[in-house]
Structures are given as C-alpha cells and as structure tokens.
C-alpha cells in the first residue's frame, strides 16, 4: 500500500510540475503573422515530456486543465483545453504503440520524433479551426485559411519542440535501458551469491567426507568390508548427487531467464 501511494504521489508531482512549468513557459510568446489571436509559445515542451513519465492518459486530463488557467486573451478556453487533452492523449498512445513495435532506442527515438510532428500538424493545430468553425468562427477566418495561417506561423515552435523533446526522449530511453541493465546485474549477483553459498556450505561437506573415506581406503584394505564406513560413503554420494541436481536445475532456470531478458533488452 505504501508503494502504491508513493507511485501515485510521484505521478501527481510530475503532473502538477509539468502543468505549472507549462504555464510559466506560456509567458514566452511568439506572435503568428496574420493570426493575432493565436500565439505560439514553449508551453508544449513540459507537456510532451510528461508523456514519457505518466502511466495513464488520465493524468493528462489534469495537465490540460492546468493549461486552461493561462489562456491567451481572445482565445477560446474550450479550444485550449481540447487541443491539449486530445493531442497529449494521442501522443501517449502513439508512443506506447511504438514501444511495443521495437525495443531499440534508435527506433523509439525516431518514433517519438514522428509523434511530435503528428502531435502538431495532425491533432493539435487542426483542432483550432475545427472548434472555431463549430463556435461560429469567432476568429473571422475560414477554417482552411485559419489552418493555413497557423501552419505557417507555428514552424518555429514545432522545430524547437521537436529538437528539444527528441533529445530529452533519447536520453530518457538510455536511462531506462541502463536501469534495466542494473537490475539484471543485481539479479546475476544474487545468483552468484546462491552459488557461493552452495559451494561453501553444502557442496564442500560431502566432498570432504568422500576425500577422507578415499584416503582411508588407500591406507587400509579392510575399509572396503566395513559396513559403517560404506554407509557413510553411500550417504555422501547421495548428498553430493542431490546438490549437483539442484545446481543443474538452477542452471536451467537461469538459462531460460537469460534468454527472456536478452530478448527484452535488445541493444540499440
């Protein structure tokens, strides 16, 4: 239960942090020529980065609500909300779909870059003229004319967001892969500790008894007819056989686990 609340708190902090940072970056505006009521800014960068960390698109709903707190003058609030919520949700599903297609870092980074272009040109920016048309064209522009103006004016924001977030996503993927490698190393160290325990506490005892009995057999011929010593010899052999079988089973399990881990951690 504690871990669940810890994860929830972490995701909530990411949600609030990215939302508030987006509001701060919204103060850096770039005017779009010909579309005075639509400003280009850098608010999308923290919103896009949050897609990498948040486990469910429901968190993106709250981020989109935070973006509404700073809506440019003359820009419809409903448009501001929908363009971010729909676009971020689409980006979230698109990125997860790309992760299922390939585990290579280069492929995931390229998939992210394509997602950024789709985020702007296919989802977010087209929502503006669509909602404007549904609301009776308060901007005074035809939908195609409005979209064309936004398309031409948003290039600086798109290029800057593409470069910045793609570099960040690439670093994030490498960090994620490094964390997976560290987990594998910790797992291997645990296996080595198990082998060391078997060797020092279980394997050496029967081997030492067998060596002692073998030493006695070399010295005294009567040892071969002593049922007591022969019983010890048989008991040590059975114990040694049990330990060897256990080690063989561990090796088989580790071989199957190693194959699974190697397939999941395909290098870039």
Q: Cβ(150)–Cβ(125) under 8 Å?
A: yes
pLDDT at 97: 94
Give the residue ranges of DSSP H helices in 118-267.
Answer: 125-134, 143-153, 155-197, 204-219, 227-264
Q: Tell me, yes or no, whether 189 and 122 share the same domain.
A: no
Give the separation between CA 155 and CA 101, rounded to whole angstroms. Answer: 29
3-class SS of residue 31: strand
Is 168's pLDDT higher than 70? yes
Q: Could you tell me the residue range of the domain that residue 9 belongs to?
A: 2-180
Pick from 154, 180, 206: which residue ends a domain?
Answer: 180
Q: Tell me, yes or no, whether 146 and 245 share the same domain.
A: no
Q: Tell me, yes or no, whether 31 and 156 share the same domain.
A: yes
The kind and range of the H/E element at 29 are: strand 29-32
What is the residue whose two structure tokens read 């999308």?
A: 44
Q: Provide mean pLDDT across the span 228-242.
A: 71
Q: Tell me, yes or no, whether 159 and 200 share the same domain.
A: no
Of the pLDDT bands very low, low, confident and very high (cuts 50, 70, 90), residue 1 is very low
Query: What angle (nearest 5°) sits at the alpha carbon of residue 15, between those of residues 175 and 80?
Result: 120
Is 216's pLDDT higher than 70? no
What DSSP character marks residue 222?
G
Q: Can you give the pTM of this predicted structure?
A: 0.72
pLDDT, one tens digit per residue, over 64-120 is 999 888 887 778 889 889 999 999 999 999 999 998 888 889 999 999 999 999 999
> CATH no. for residue 224?
1.10.287
Q: Tell me, yes or no, whether 195 and 101 share the same domain.
A: no
Of the pLDDT bands very low, low, confident and very high (cuts 50, 70, 90), residue 7 is confident
Q: Tell me, yes or no, whether 173 and 189 share the same domain.
A: no
Give the separation between CA 170 and CA 165, rounded to whole angstroms. Answer: 8
> CATH no. for residue 83?
1.10.1760.20
**Dihedral angle computed from the Cα positions of residues 227, 230, 232 and 237, in that order, rounded to the nearest 10 degrees:** -150
Q: Tell me, yes or no, whether 203 and 171 share the same domain.
A: no
Q: Tell me, yes or no, whether 15 and 113 share the same domain.
A: yes
Residues of the chain with pLDDT > 70: what percent?
72
Q: Cβ(168)–Cβ(49) under 8 Å?
A: yes
Number of domains in the chain: 2
Pick from 157, 180, 203: which residue ends a domain?
Answer: 180
């Amino acid at each position: 239960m504690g871990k669940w609340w810890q994860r929830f708190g972490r995701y909530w902090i990411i949600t609030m942090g990215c939302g508030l940072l987006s509001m701060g970056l919204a103060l850096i505006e770039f005017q779009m020529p010909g579309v005075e009521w639509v400003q280009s800014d850098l608010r999308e960068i923290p919103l896009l980065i949050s897609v990498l960390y948040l486990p469910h698109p429901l968190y993106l709903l709250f981020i989109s609500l935070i973006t509404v707190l700073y809506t440019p003058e003359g820009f419809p609030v409903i448009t501001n909300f929908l363009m971010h919520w729909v676009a971020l949700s689409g980006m979230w599903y698109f990125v997860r779909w790309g992760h299922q297609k390939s585990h290579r870092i280069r492929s995931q980074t390229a998939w992210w870059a394509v997602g950024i272009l789709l985020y702007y040109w296919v989802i977010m920016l087209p929502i503006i003229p669509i909602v404007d048309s549904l609301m009776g064209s308060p901007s005074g522009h035809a939908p195609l004319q409005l979209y064309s103006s936004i398309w031409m004016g948003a290039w600086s924001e798109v290029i800057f967001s593409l470069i910045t977030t793609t570099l960040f996503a690439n670093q994030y993927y490498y960090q994620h892969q490094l964390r997976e490698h560290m987990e594998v190393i910790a797992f291997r160290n645990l296996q080595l500790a198990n082998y060391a325990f078997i060797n020092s506490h279980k394997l050496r005892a029967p081997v030492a008894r067998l060596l002692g009995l073998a030493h006695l057999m070399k010295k005294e011929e009567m040892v071969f007819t002593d049922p007591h010593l022969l019983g010890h010899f048989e008991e040590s052999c059975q114990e040694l056989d049990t330990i060897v079988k256990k080690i063989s089973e561990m090796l088989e399990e580790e071989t199957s686990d190693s194959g699974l881990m190697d397939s999941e951690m395909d290098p870039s």
